[in-house]
Amino acid sequence: MGSLVISIDAELGWGFHDLADPPESRVESGRRGWRRLLALLDRFDVPATWAVVSHLMLDRCDGRHADHPAPPGWFERERGAWADRPDLRFAPDLVAGILAADPDHELAAHSFSHVLFGDPETTPEIAREEYERSREIAARWGLVVDSFVYPRNDVGHLDVLADCGFRAYRGRSPTPEGIRGVADAAIRDRSSLVHPRIDEFGLVSIPASLFAFGFEGRLRSIAESVWTDPIVARARRGIDRAATDDGVFHLWLHPNNLRATRDDDRMAAILEYAAEVRAESALEIETMGEVADRVGPSRTGDRNEATTRAERVI
């Protein structure tokens, strides 16, 4: 039997701070979407993996981060255009909401400042700083984060991720994201279940199955209700498959994708269906951390063995 995993890239302004022209409606929807998503998960008693940009867990900062090895200018927007927008840069209130929620959510990391780990300019030193800060800030909250979601799914510096004590990450989707993945019948009908595996660094890779908001624009506007919403249909098929077959249906999204009621309705339809299937079948709804517990090496002995194996391969 399989499971459903939902991972959430929670970032507020940090998801866009490096863009020349941040998409205003997404930027301004982050807090709204965060609260709606938390409420929906609560309503259907569904636990999720919340991968939070850990700068959001700070109360304040100097806007400079002079001791961070990122290139000059990386933190420019927070001390420039967003200097008077602490609501985009800090969110201890929203993080506390995750921790206080009834479902047993996992708090995971989405880096410290949304660095792109596959970018050639991101050195191992920068990667390490981003990973370590996530662990340190969580520790100040009395928490351990050991699942990681890469900004823009740009996977990189996995050796350093393992070295910093993480156990699991969201791997790239085996199928194309976005419009093609939904519109192309050959891809649409392929099973969207993924199979977590232990990689050469002893980390558990849990690939993404489906981006819940990969279907937007013109075709989205044709789909007027959840009854005709192709993402809801695809999510239902994935949940059905996970109820009968081995594998994980791994859905992911950002809080800022919930910009309007119809977005809330899409997530409500998916979560309601997941809760129904869970009640009637062997379907489990797990966090990434629970998947890592199930399929990964243990935290001590096996992990070292896997790391040693990886070192030998290198």
Residues 200-229 that bind Zn ion (CB under 5 A): none
Cβ proximity to Zn ion, 9 vs 263, nearer residue: 9
CB of 110 to Zn ion, least distance (A): 6
CB of 74 to Zn ion, least distance (A): 10
Report d(CA 256, CA 77) in Å as an integer. Answer: 19
CB of 53 to Zn ion, least distance (A): 7
**What character string, x for contact with Zn ion (CB under 5 A) and - otherwise, covers 55-74?**
------x-------------
For 113-141, b/e burial (b = at least 16 CB within 10 A) is bbbbbeeeebeeebbbbbbebbbebbeee
**What character string, x for contact with Zn ion (CB under 5 A) and - otherwise, covers 155-194?**
----------------------------------------
Which residue, among 222, 263, 183, 211, has the nearest Cα to 7 in the 3D structure? 211
Main-chain dihedrals φ then ψ at residue 3, nearest 5 degrees: -145, 165
Counting every residue written for the chain, the total comes to 314
Residues 6-25 that bind Zn ion (CB under 5 A): 9, 11, 15
DSSP 42-93: HHTT---EEEE-GGGG-S---S--TTS-SPTTTTHHHHTTTTT-HHHH--HH
Which residue, among 96, 89, 109, 85, has the nearest Cα to 35 in the 3D structure? 96
Residues 249-288 that bind Zn ion (CB under 5 A): none
217 three-state secondary structure: coil
Structure tokens at 208: 């993404």
**CA–CA distances in Å: residue 273 to residues 212, 232, 269:** 14, 9, 6
CB of 243 to Zn ion, least distance (A): 30
Among 33-41, 53-61, 198-206, 234-242, the segment contacting Zn ion (CB under 5 A):
53-61
Cβ proximity to Zn ion, 61 vs 155, nearer residue: 61
Cβ proximity to Zn ion, 9 vs 290, nearer residue: 9
CB of 299 to Zn ion, least distance (A): 27
The answer to whether the CB of 231 falls within 8 A of the CB of 215 is yes
Cβ proximity to Zn ion, 151 vs 289, nearer residue: 151
**What character string, x for contact with Zn ion (CB under 5 A) and - otherwise, covers 143-162?**
--------x-----------
The answer to whether the CB of 191 falls within 8 A of the CB of 233 is no
Asked if 30 is part of the footprint of Zn ion (rule: CB under 5 A), the reply reads: no
CB of 295 to Zn ion, least distance (A): 25
Which residue number places its CB atom closest to Zn ion? 61
CB of 76 to Zn ion, least distance (A): 11
CB of 15 to Zn ion, least distance (A): 4
Is 224 exposed, middle or buried, given 0-12, 13-18 or 19+ CB atoms closer than 10 A?
A: exposed
Radius of gyration of the chain (CA): 19
CB of 150 to Zn ion, least distance (A): 8
Cβ proximity to Zn ion, 110 vs 303, nearer residue: 110
34 three-state secondary structure: helix
The residues, any chain, with a CB within 8 Å of residue 281's CB and separated by 6 or more, are 1, 243, 244
Cβ proximity to Zn ion, 8 vs 198, nearer residue: 8
The answer to whether the CB of 73 falls within 8 A of the CB of 131 is no
Binding residues for Zn ion, total number by CB under 5 A: 5
Cβ proximity to Zn ion, 132 vs 265, nearer residue: 132
Residues that bind Zn ion (CB under 5 A): 9, 11, 15, 61, 151
